[in-house]
Chain A
Amino acid sequence: MCLGIPAKVTRIDASKQGKVDYLGTKVKVDFSLLEDIRPGDWVIVHAGFAITRLDEEEAQETLSLLREILQAQGE
């Protein structure tokens, strides 16, 4: 029931119903638990509801941390 993989928002209507692309499959999702969601955002979906949105800056931070660790290893 708890899927760790993010899904990309493809459609959302005025009543906060819409769809995401989840690993290539279109899935119906309720966005009522989130504010200001737009197509193109990445979300985590759980039992039919989007429960959180991914933060680009934070993702970049984790990425650079991981790359640093790899570089330090190579030196």
Chain B
Amino acid sequence: MPGPMKELRDGSITHALLGRIGSKTSGLEQPVRIMEVCGTHTMTIHRYGLKTLLEEAGVDMVSGPGCPVCITPNEVHEACIDLVTKRESLILASFGDMTRVPTGKGSLQTAIPAPSSRVKIVYSPEEALALAKANPAKEVVFFGVGFETTIPGIALTVKRAADEGVPNFSTLSALWLIPPALRAILQAGETAISGFLYPGHVSAIIGLEPYRFIAEEYGVPGAVAGFEPNDILLGVSAILDQIAEGRPGVHLEYGRVVNPRGNPLAQAVMAEMLELRDAFWRGLGRIPRSGLGLKERYGAYDARVKLALSIREGSEDLPGCRCGEVLRGLISPPQCPLFGKRCGPDSPFGPCMVSFEGACFIYHKYDRTRGSE
């Protein structure tokens, strides 16, 4: 203890929880629609069949912008492709799934690098920094994409590069903040949302306060939940209680992992290295103060500054791909005409089918037979 806890997957507890959820929804007048904003939640919900079971219990689960690879717009992916195809002596270090995102210029995987350049898949930002130290004659650009979960590690790695004065390391970062994206979704008001299932590990970094405005300003309940099936049902159940009592709040179901104040060391390194920026999200468009970028004094480690990149925002999805609508919770993946036809995990047509955290990928893996709804 407290390692894996089998009760969190226990089937009889799952059924007991579903029973409770069913009796809670039967007392409500409005249909209940809960948005999950984390690809790993989407994964659990589909892997364990909770999507259907919850539907039967009166709760419609809808996926939101929970996949960092997916919400990074094409122009950023294209900028990386340009770097490695047009510049010499460059190593583009990227997490694996980003290399497969298709754009108008192909993907990092299909692009042919300049003769002395290459793409290298890494599992952590530190690995990219080590690569720079091992290859002093090459510029190593780390394609740093992530939500609050990944951002502190990237910030700390840049801090180390700066402290040690590594001259050939920089990051092309796309760092996204969840709470402003949720505000944008609520403000757009395109989809009726009765509650949010907040992401467990983003919350481990930021704590509960950053979600408070959602309950206070928009009256929308929410719960931070873990990633086991019964975690999710406990979270949903807490949201239903908030709806029934008319008292929206931010419930913490995942207390074993999330400190209500978040992780102070992670917050400190983010505050030291990064500053707020407006950012352009796939599907959601430009959202004020929804991204982070390196502070000006770390320009030597910011590929946009160091390599004088001009990335023009607003490039469209490939024609036919409806990833943008999936990310806004407007359609579910099977409603895309390309789903399972021209677009599948082996030949993804859009980013939502590429990433393990992408809704199209997850639906394709677990719910293909449900058909379009």
Residues of A within 8 A of B (CB): 1-6, 8, 30, 32-35, 42, 44, 46-49, 51-52, 54-56, 58-63, 65-67, 69-70, 72-73
Query: Once the chains bind, are B16 and A46 in contact (CB under 8 Å)?
Result: no
Query: Once the chains bind, are B146 and A70 in contact (CB under 8 Å)?
Result: no
Query: Once the chains bind, are B1 and A47 in contact (CB under 8 Å)?
Result: no
Query: Once the chains bind, are A2 and B16 in contact (CB under 8 Å)?
Result: no
B1-38 interface (Cβ within 8 A of A):
1-5, 7-8, 10, 12-13, 15-17, 19-20, 38
Chain A residues, CB < 8 A from B340: none
Interface of B is mostly: helix
Query: Once the chains bind, are B17 and A33 in contact (CB under 8 Å)?
Result: no
Query: Once the chains bind, are B146 and A47 in contact (CB under 8 Å)?
Result: yes
Contact with A along B32-67 (1 / 0, CB 8 A): 000000111000100000000000000000000000
Determine if B313 is an interface residue (Cβ-Cβ < 8 Å): no
Contact with B5, one of A49, A59, A72, A73 (Cβ below 8 angstroms): A59
Query: Once the chains bind, are A54 and B156 in contact (CB under 8 Å)?
Result: no
Q: List 20 A-B contacts (CB under 8 A).
A: A1-B146, A6-B257, A8-B3, A33-B263, A44-B257, A47-B125, A48-B124, A49-B124, A51-B153, A51-B263, A54-B256, A54-B257, A56-B2, A59-B1, A60-B2, A61-B255, A62-B5, A62-B231, A66-B8, A73-B15
Determine if B298 is an interface residue (Cβ-Cβ < 8 Å): no
Query: Once the chains bind, are B13 and A66 in contact (CB under 8 Å)?
Result: yes
Chain B residues, CB < 8 A from A70: 7, 10, 12-13, 16
CB of B198 to closest CB in A, whole Å: 14
Contact with B205, one of A48, A51, A58, A59 (Cβ below 8 angstroms): A51
Could you list 5 further interchain pairs (A-B, Cβ under 8 angstroms) beyond the known A1-B357, A48-B124? A47-B123, A47-B153, A56-B256, A59-B2, A62-B253
Assembled-state Cα–Cα distance A47/B149 (Å):
9
Assembled-state Cα–Cα distance A32/B201 (Å):
17
Query: Once the chains bind, are A4 and B149 in contact (CB under 8 Å)?
Result: no
CB of A46 to closest CB in B, whole Å: 5
